[in-house]
Amino acid sequence: RAAGAHEAPRAHAVAFGVFDPGLFDALLLLGTPTSLDEARRRFKALANERHPDVAGGSHAAMSALNRAFALVSKHFERTATS
């Protein structure tokens, strides 16, 4: 194998959160929104429950939710410009 042959797939996997179970949980909670507006509504509802200042919320849960929303919103931005 060539040197660095595994670097690109691993970097790609890390960039998309493969090694972050919290991100997967947050993506599952966001579900499959059909529009960016729907994704925002779901994000805001979940953020109200998971924010660190709310009982039962945590920094880790909010951070994962923020990353999940960033991925979902990038998807809609890419499809809107295509």
| pLDDT of amino acid 32 | 86
Q: Tally Cβ neighbours within 10 Å of residue 57.
A: 16
Q: CA 63 to CA 66: how far, in whole Å? A: 5
**Tens of pLDDT along 10-49?**
444 445 545 577 888 888 888 888 899 999 999 999 999 9
The pTM (predicted TM-score) of the whole model is 0.71
Backbone angles phi, psi at 28, to 5 degrees: -65, -40
CB 68 within 8 A of CB 47: no
